[in-house]
Amino acid sequence: MLQMRYDREHLETLLAVVEHGTLDAAARRLRVTPSAVSQRLKAFEQQLGRVLVVRSKPARATAAGEALVRMARQLALLEHEADQALGTGDGPTTIPIAVNADSLATWILPALERVARTHPVVFEIHRDDQDHTAGWLAAGTVMAAVTSQAEPVPGCTSTPLGRMRYRPRAAPAFAARWFPDGADAASLALAPVVVFDEKDQLQSDYLGMVTRRRLDPPRHRVPASADFAAAVRLGLGWGMLPDAQSDGTVLVDTRRDIAVALHWQQWNLRSPLLDAVAAEIVATAHTVLGGRVAGEGGVSRPPGVSRTASAAG
């Protein structure tokens, strides 16, 4: 007889607390009292002899709690797929994924729409930098992620998507004013630049490529992918843009670009629904990004310095 080591009610309660951030919100989701949520969580922790949730605002899972949150999500997915196969399913299942801001703004949404059109699924998208999305996967917060990390997160698979290539661009009038003779150390030291936020190193990486020294030009911070591209198009400053967002701009340097390798990581779980999502994501990425991680031309940026999203979740 199949017997679970962990109580399903305890797992559902832990997942609700972590997903919704407070005991009160988890209680509303589970349709029980906050006292019942607290009692279940305490009983679960006493059973295992370790703390599963940090009672902060919002509540967050400990390392032990993260492993169980991941398990709870996996069980919920498998149960939903079994219900669908038996014809007893009721409504779509939720698949949370972590995606970097530029992929979210340029190519991934059409792929997700095609999946949602043919499968009973809704997506919960967490936006973060491609160097940090793998952390959401490791924590069990998401089932899959677009990430710059090639090495699989434990318990996950990793598939190359291709390279997102960034080129230095500006509005035509801006380029004519600040770069009449092309981008060089003197002009780049003075020309205003648009950056995503304090963690965005793409522009600094480009400046280092051109000048071999550290420059400190005036910087505009625009922490949203679409708004970042709009700021460059409007002439607020120059910036590193992917080709998909380059309309209305001109290249300020035709010789240099920066390529960021992206990968699709997901739980190593036999799930037809999760596999369908992966197939559409990988196919779309191979069309849009070229389908290769190794490529010629440009400079490959190692993980750790990149454009980050303004907010996660």
pLDDT digits (tens, 9 = 90+) for 61-91: 888 888 888 888 877 777 776 766 666 666 7
Average pLDDT (234-254) is 95
Q: Is the pLDDT of residue 296 over 80?
A: no
Which residues are bridge partners to 258 per DSSP?
A: 166, 299
For 125-159, the pLDDT digits (tens) are 998 888 889 988 887 788 899 999 999 998 899 99
Stretch (H or E) spanning 29: helix 23-30
- Going by C-beta distance under 8 Å and a sequence separation of 6 or more, which residues neighbour residue 208? 214
pTM of the model: 0.73
CATH code for the domain defined by 165-259: 3.40.190.10
Alpha carbons 164 and 303: distance in angstroms, whole number? 13
Average pLDDT (13-29) is 89
47-59: b or e for each residue (b if 16 or more CB lie within 10 Å)?
eeeeebbeeeeeb
Task: Kindly list the distances between the CA atom of residue 130 and the CA atoms of 20, 31, 134, 200, 263, in Å, as whole numbers in the listed order.
Answer: 24, 36, 8, 12, 9
Q: Is the pLDDT of residue 294 over 70?
A: no
Alpha carbons 287 and 273: distance in angstroms, whole number? 22
Alpha carbons 160 and 148: distance in angstroms, whole number? 9
Alpha carbons 213 and 312: distance in angstroms, whole number? 33
Alpha carbons 96 and 146: distance in angstroms, whole number? 12
The domain segmentation of the chain, as residue ranges, is 1-73, 165-259
291 Ramachandran zone, left/alpha/beta (phi>0; psi -120 to 50)? left
Cα–Cα nearest to 196, from 99, 312, 307, 304 = 307
DSSP track, 110-122: HHHHHHHHHSSEE
Alpha-carbon dihedral sign for residues 113, 263, 289, 306: positive
- Options 1.20.58.220, 3.90.1150.10, 1.10.1520.10, 1.10.10.10; CATH for 1-73 is 1.10.10.10
Question: Please, what is the average pLDDT of the chain?
Answer: 86
Residues in the chain: 313
Taking the CA of residue 111 as centre, how many other CA atoms within 13 Å lie in the half-sphere pointing to its CB? 21
Site of tokens 């522009």: 203
CA angle 38–43–44, rounded 5-degree value: 100
